[in-house]
Amino acid sequence: MLKFIKFPLFIYLLIFAPTCFSLTQTNTVAIVGAGPSGLAAAKSAKEAGLDVTVFEKNKDIGGLLNPNFGIRLNNLNSNLSKFTRSFSDFPWPKEAPLIPSPIQLHNYFRSYCDHFNLNTNILLNTLVTDISLDELSKKWTVSYVTPSSKKLKKQTFDFVIIASGSNSVAKYPNLTISDFEGEVCHAKFYEGASDYKDKIVAIVGSGFSSVEVASSLYSEAKKVYHFAKNNLWLSPKALSISNKKTPIDLVFFRNCIKNSLPKELICSDEIHTSRITHQDVLPFLHLDLNTASNPTIMVISDIYANLINSKQVTIVTDPVRSLYKNTIICDHSTYHVDAIIFCTGFLSNFPFFSQDILKKINFNPTSDTHTLHLYESMFHPNLPNLAFVGFEKNSYSGIVELQARWAILSFILPDIFLPKAETLKKALSDSKNQIVSKDSIKTFYANYVSRLKFLAKSIGVDPDFDDPKLKNCPLIPAIFRLKGSYATPEIAKETINQCLEYLNKPQLD
């Protein structure tokens, strides 16, 4: 944890900035990716007076949350409320729906760019081919190809932020997929149930997308098989808290919530009903978290259990071993299907980095659970003036925005906001030797709350959590604009009070 006296940012600039960079010179920063992480980084960089260039390989912003070319579950709504799906100083309109659709979320990103004048800084349809470090100057050269010219261009930057996302490549299981003669799709490219009308469809995977896809297919497909090797903890999209339907993020993203399922919610009627219903329908997936041999994954759906109970979706726990023509071959059974949709996760991809850099960050291109060898998922001691944003699990808006703010502060005030190289190296060495604990259940929120609080404290924007009214509020991004650098307390209070009003809690003054 970084420790420093909490002065306003301009005091730090006056005292320390002259030793970091020339205030008469505009420093440059390259940002790879114009998804939520890249947009938050671009806004933070402009806020600090840096000259920003964002490289986006697609024709539009939004990354995987763009409904046109991202994860194409564009007929399905988010599970998170607008209070969580927001940037800290850009509230949704009060009349916006509580749970935004993918299209509404994309329009929100566009409005964010308009409001903070980011569009002129974003190069669309621009592919970054190489990012290399000059060891002497500690500057970075970015090579890229633009739509207007197919010739390779190069530009040197003082700083670089990698915000290309940890879910950029569809991951497929270790099967010879070419042996299957039917249709094959990945959840990333799934566009809706109409493509599977009157077909027998197999869904392979145990994550969020598998349940979402299964729940959307039943009305069109002739038959749906869900091949899920992991236990599933089923939760509804909203919980009854104090007789009010409340989105799950506003329940679990709270300062008082531990990194496990809270007992008061496990025992609540709605969670209990969901749990018992799941056990009755799927007795072989009995959720005894103390004895379960396979990982248990928390999934979210209002109708999945009913679809299993009515046999509109058939769940199969027999492991898939191979494919042949139109047949899925398991250990103890076979299934004839017309199409397979793989809901088997995503992989990171850094095609612009050399093997030397990939080795430094310990990148594994075939693992979706492997953690990059970075300090706090952001910094590496041997990669100066470079930061990663959005490369940890559960990188919702609050996480990526705090990371973006930290990255920019580490660039302009490294003596204050970036540990020394020796500290970074020791932290990375210690992390290699840590034994990673196995969670009894993989939840959608995991350590989100503790990560928010750590990141906020690291840059001096952690609020007074002892404030009785603030205790009632989930940890939405707006909370981290109440104080500290670039605070916007009036805007923050407006968003926080809208959230408290929805929850029928006392509002901030």
Domains and CATH numbers, the chain: 9-169+347-424 (3.50.50.60), 172-344 (3.50.50.60)
For tokens 């990171």, name the residue.
348
pTM, full prediction: 0.87
SS3 helix, strand, coil % of the chain, rounded to 5?
35, 20, 45
* 461 secondary structure, DSSP code: -
CA quadruple 291, 297, 302, 305: dihedral sign: negative
pLDDT at 376: 92
Enumerate the H helices of 30-123 as residue ranges.
36-47, 102-115
Residue 285's nearest CA partner among 232, 207, 361, 214 is 232
**Bridge pairing between strands 238-241 and 346-347:** unpaired
Tokens of 73: 């579950």
pLDDT, one tens digit per residue, over 80-136 is 899 999 999 999 999 999 999 888 999 999 999 999 999 999 999 999 999 999 999
Residue stretches of the chain with pLDDT short of 50: 1-7, 10-24, 74-75, 257-286, 292, 433-441
3-class DSSP state of 52:
strand
Residue 477's nearest CA partner among 4, 44, 12 is 44
Cβ atoms of residues 406 and 262 within 8 Å:
no
Cβ atoms of residues 342 and 328 within 8 Å:
no
Cβ atoms of residues 59 and 127 within 8 Å:
no
CA quadruple 330, 335, 340, 342: dihedral sign: negative
pLDDT, one tens digit per residue, over 395-433 is 889 999 999 999 999 999 999 999 888 888 888 887 664
Tokens of 404: 């973006």
For tokens 């927001």, name the residue.
86
